[in-house]
Structure 1
Amino acid sequence: MAALPRPGLGVYITANWPNRDVFAKFLDAVKGIADFVEIGIPTDNPKYDGPFIRSSHRSVQVKGLDALRGLRLPENAVLMGYAEDFAGRFDELARAAAEAGAVSVLLPDLLIDMPEMLDAYVAAMRREGLAPTFFLPGKFPYALAERLAGYGPLFIYVGLYAATGIKLPVYVERNIKLARSHIGGIYLVAGFAIDSPDKARALIEAGADGLVVGTAAMRRLAEGGVKAAVDFLSEIRRAIK
């Protein structure tokens, strides 16, 4: 897998949304703009996603690993799923991810709802030659952050929330700096409803190595097509250089 650049831009989209053809065109169009792509595995219970992304999951008819059949993902693609959908099936999940060309699978509910399965997840990823990735909630035990760093993940994604407006709330900058102090040089990704170049720039300036844009890009894709989404992501790309 290619090393992620600093600063780096990631984009999220639910697999096969809004349909398989547009999804494929979008992935092709963001090459050279996004450094990595998060592909959501469609599920009936996207419990930690926002309203717009939840609706995208529900509108895709084929759910779970069946949605990956026939897909060949771009370089540095990371699948994003829910641990509760794959409890006891991490090996199956890792094999499907490897076959699709993904470099990892991010499970945002793993450390929140199923922390006892952490080692099983890491072992399954490594058996298929994939790197682990972790989602760290905004409020996290310091020892947990240090433990995750010890696994040598592709990245650690810190979940943040920011109010509307250009300037980030102080606690967002604080949480990024706090995470950095406990994970050392591990690649740090942040996301928090990034809907403007100013917010993206502020996250990088606060110390994140990379960021993920999801809902804002998907809204533009739904409303204005691939070009509108790509134009927006290009603005974000320029803002973080």
Structure 2
Amino acid sequence: MSRIQAAFRRARNEGRAAVVPYLTAGYPSPEAYLDTATQLLEFADLMEIGLPYSDPLGDGPTIQRSGEAALRAGVRTADVVALVAALRQRTDKPLLLMTYVNPVFAWGPARFFAAFAEAGLDGVILPDLPPDEDPEVVRAAHDAGLATVFLLAPTSTDARIREVVRHTTGFVYTVSVTGVTGARSEMPDLAPLVGRIRSQTELPVAIGFGVSGAETARQAARVADGVVVGSALIKKLASGEDPAPLLAEIRRAARVE
């Protein structure tokens, strides 16, 4: 059993959805990133690491600004590899990289995935890659020993779900809206979508793009195996606040009712 599978199973056995925080690598600084990630890992089941990128099509303004700040500070792909390696020294929990596909192509898929796998990464989330459009990239990730995660949305057809889960080996990332990332006050009813996904795969299903606090986490946990939170944590960091209490609140709220 992989670390990813074990993390979801452990959370399920504890009667709750798995908690997956997202932080942009190197934000607000490389040193602060490592300390913040370490603090959040106390309340996390898996950690999602965002690779700063200049054209993040799926990210809302909060995560965009964090990526821009990291890039201005000089954080590049090689630095993110080093941050993953440093974070792996601090935890045995699953670490996943969220990256757009252009940085993968810039290094070359085999080199990119091998470097991150050697650093201790467990999987890669590719939000802008339809996996059937470039199965060679998916194969390169698998050859490096990395799990792959792709996104599905409320607009996804049954045929699209079937195609995406065929290439997915980590968990299925379900976005709550047909839009960009960002904290929201209420979740739409995702039970029908999650039900359609579960009819085609036994992989865990995690919901993101909208979890902002206890109530939205509770809504997501009612129907999914995992709860992803990013923008709400980065907002705390941007205002100089400690995001760990918010993640602790989300973990408490992610009980399966």
Residue of structure 2 in register with 1:66 after alignment: 78
State the distance in 1 between where 2:68 and 2:225 align.
32
State the distance in 2 between where 1:47 and 1:151 align.
22
State the distance in 2 between where 1:202 and 1:141 align.
23
Residue of structure 2 in register with 1:4 after alignment: 7
The match for 2:215 among 182, 189, 198 is 198
State the distance in 1 between where 2:99 and 2:152 align.
15
Residue 140 of structure 1 aligns with an amino acid whose one-letter code is S
Are 1:19 and 2:24 matched, yes or no? no
Is contact 1:12–1:38 with CA below 8 Å preserved after alignment? Answer: yes
Distance 1:40 1:152, change over 3 A: closer
Is contact 2:150–2:168 with CA below 8 Å preserved after alignment? Answer: no
Structure 2 unaligned spans of 5+ = none
Is contact 2:172–2:203 with CA below 8 Å preserved after alignment? Answer: yes
State the distance in 2 between where 1:127 and 1:100 align.
15
Residue of structure 1 in register with 2:254 after alignment: 240
SS in structure 1 of the partner of residue 127 of structure 2: coil
SS in structure 1 of the partner of residue 248 of structure 2: helix
Q: 1:49-93 deviations in whole A, cap 9, x for unaligned?
A: 010100111111335422324222343110011113323722122
Are 1:179 and 2:197 matched, yes or no? yes
Structure 1 unaligned spans of 5+ = none
Residue of structure 2 in register with 1:96 after alignment: 115
Is contact 1:103–1:130 with CA below 8 Å preserved after alignment? Answer: yes
Query: Counterparts in 2 of 1:158-177, with a 5 A limit?
Result: 158-161=174-177, 164-166=184-186, 168-170=187-189, 172-177=190-195
Are 1:156 and 2:175 matched, yes or no? no
Are 1:218 and 2:248 matched, yes or no? no
1:12: Cα distance to partner?
A: 0.4
Residue of structure 2 in register with 1:84 after alignment: 102
Is contact 1:79–1:105 with CA below 8 Å preserved after alignment? Answer: yes
Report the TM-score, using the length of structure 1 for normalisation: 0.88
State the distance in 2 between where 1:43 and 1:37 align.
19
Residue 26 of structure 2 aligns with an amino acid whose one-letter code is N
1:38: Cα distance to partner?
A: 0.8
Shifted more, 143-152 versus 49-58: the winner is 143-152
The match for 1:129 among 114, 134, 145 is 145
Residue 239 of structure 1 aligns with an amino acid whose one-letter code is A
How many pairs align? 232
Q: 1:82-105 deviations in whole A, cap 9, x for unaligned?
A: 113323722122112112211111
Greater relative CO (CA pairs within 8 A, separation 6+): 2
Residue 103 of structure 1 aligns with an amino acid whose one-letter code is D
Are 1:108 and 2:127 matched, yes or no? yes
SS in structure 1 of the partner of residue 150 of structure 2: strand
Q: 1:136-175 deviations in whole A, cap 9, x for unaligned?
A: 2331131232233334511010111299544x333x3332
Report the TM-score, using the length of structure 2 for normalisation: 0.83
Is contact 1:220–1:229 with CA below 8 Å preserved after alignment? Answer: yes
State the distance in 1 between where 2:76 and 2:151 align.
20
Is contact 1:42–1:67 with CA below 8 Å preserved after alignment? Answer: no
State the distance in 1 between where 2:198 and 2:210 align.
21
State the distance in 1 between where 2:244 and 2:138 align.
34
